[in-house]
Amino acid sequence: MSFEQAGLHLLYAGRYVDSDFSTSRIAYHLISTPSSPTYVAAVVEYNPDTGAPGDATTDIVSKNVANYVLHIRKAAEQDADIIVFPECGLVTYVSGTSYATPLPSPEDLVTPCTDTSSNVTEAIRTLSCEARTQSIYVVVNVPEVAPCPNASRNCVLYYNSNVVFDRNGTVVARYRKFNLFGEAGFSTTPEAEISILDTDFGVKFGIFTCFDLLFEKPAVQLVKEWGVTDIIFPTAWFSELPFLTAVEAQASWAYGFDVNFLAAGYDTPSVGSAGSGIYAGKDGPLLTVMPTVPTTRLLVARLLKKKSQSSQSTLSYAGNNSKPLTYSNIFSSRIDGTKSRLRMMRDYLEPYETLLLDEGDCFIERRLCHNELCCDFQVVMHTDQRDRDTSVKDYVYRLVVFDGIRSYTYLTAGVQICAVVSCINSSLSSCGYEFERPEESAFRAVFDYIHISGNFRVDNSTQLPATLVHGYGVLSPDTFQFTREEIPEKGEVRIDMKTKSQHSNLLTFAVYGRDFLKDGGPVTKPSGTVRNNAASVSLLLSVAVFLCVRSHY
């Protein structure tokens, strides 16, 4: 079969210097075309060069630009059609607006590499040239400076912006972040921008950034109103247990909306930022990384175009059709017992209605309600008795339900949640935490079956499956089922989420819902009642069947 028959095109991409700067050679690589059934994407988990104390911002940016150039070349070697870099990667968290650049409007089709009249920074010009040389789409996040609309010439605004260069180095898309997470000094547009990248390989990408993931505009709009099936997501995420760790949130959104999802994460674990991945919608993650130590890693995978997907996908979990690439030797996995340096925030679980599951063999069928949301749980679990070391600490679990308003630090948001979550002891205040020494803890509770169901509000809302396992990975999509059935006459949607196999290292199994109409309201306070265990539960609710006994072995 020829390249053309496979929907590919062999492209001469110019001359470049190898990553060790030792030799130069001619670069050829395959690019996808509109007729290709797939395309190749790259994302970068990037630990930025923050420079030495006293270094000028321009010097720091220059070092990061040089690193970006090497990643672009490595991605091109893997035949990547597009590469996505994280939020804040060029200028770092601390630089803020100090290296802001003007950005051309995509409508003007400016190519900074060759257009000397363009007043962009040298970093933008360099990256435009590299996109042009390697013939690859490049997505970069930068602080943008722009004149105030309808104001004097001395007035400027700063935006947290993504800029996209096409294979010619031309600026073909720009997105200004709408939902800022604090970010002093930055402004937002009056309305959320709808930014769609139309590529030469027949895929249209919606673009949004980090905190936007949790809101209706523009993220949900891109899928529901504009029919976008592929997402570009630069992020500098602050992970939060038990529902919003980085890879967990990315996989949840990709699965819930069944979109190809390219997430590139800023990597500074000491402040809670880490996590990148390439996701194939309901087919799950192809490649992910969630480091606990500073890490730079390039992920490259081949994705099936959504418009050509059949009911029997050719993609498989864990990326059998992907091409992983890493050239960092400092990557560490939490599973190997390495002490975590990844700082985690914790959701405020105290207002939740909860029920502690007894240790030991257990069957429980239970309804829990909080405000207007009722969740039905069926749980079958047992304890693995093979490890009897009494010095090892076990995780315990609670059923939790919440229908209210929570704080996202800088604003409040409506949330509806039904979940099973892990805890480090029997108190609710211990849920959403991990043992400090993983080697001295164990997951001896084995879940044979979990089924969660509930009726959620359907208008101005989303409901997504959130799963998390030890090591900050997520469940394979072939090990659980998530379905939704709208009930128009009630203005509700019924959600069912159930396991399809045993799980023994579970941290979170949840339906995570957002109720956008409640955004901005006062935070829901605790009621003062906490269910301690299944044996002490009141029978006030109509459905209650449980049998939780300690093992006799």
- Give the active site residues: 87, 177, 210
Q: How many other C-beta atoms lie within 10 A of the C-beta of residue 419?
A: 27
Strand residue runs (E) in 34-93: 38-45, 82-84
Q: What crossing angle do the helices spanning 122-134 and 57-77 adopt, rounded to 10°?
A: 10
Q: Do residues 497 and 440 lie in contact, with contact meaning Cβ atoms separated by under 8 Å? A: no
Closest residue by Cα to residue 340 from 241, 426, 252, 195: 241
**Non-local CB neighbours of 15 within 8 Å, separated by 6+ positions:** 24, 25, 26, 27, 133
The DSSP code for 29 is: E
Strand residue runs (E) in 52-191: 82-84, 137-147, 156-165, 171-176
Q: How far is the C-alpha of 346 from the C-alpha of 344, rounded, in Å?
A: 7
Q: Do residues 362 and 311 lie in contact, with contact meaning Cβ atoms separated by under 8 Å? A: no
The residues facing 419 across adjacent strands are 400, 510
Q: How far is the C-alpha of 57 from the C-alpha of 72, rounded, in Å?
A: 22
The residues facing 24 across adjacent strands are 17
**Non-local CB neighbours of 154 within 8 Å, separated by 6+ positions:** none
Burial class (CB in 10 A: 0-12, 13-18, 19+), 529: exposed
Closest residue by Cα to residue 41 from 420, 370, 325: 325
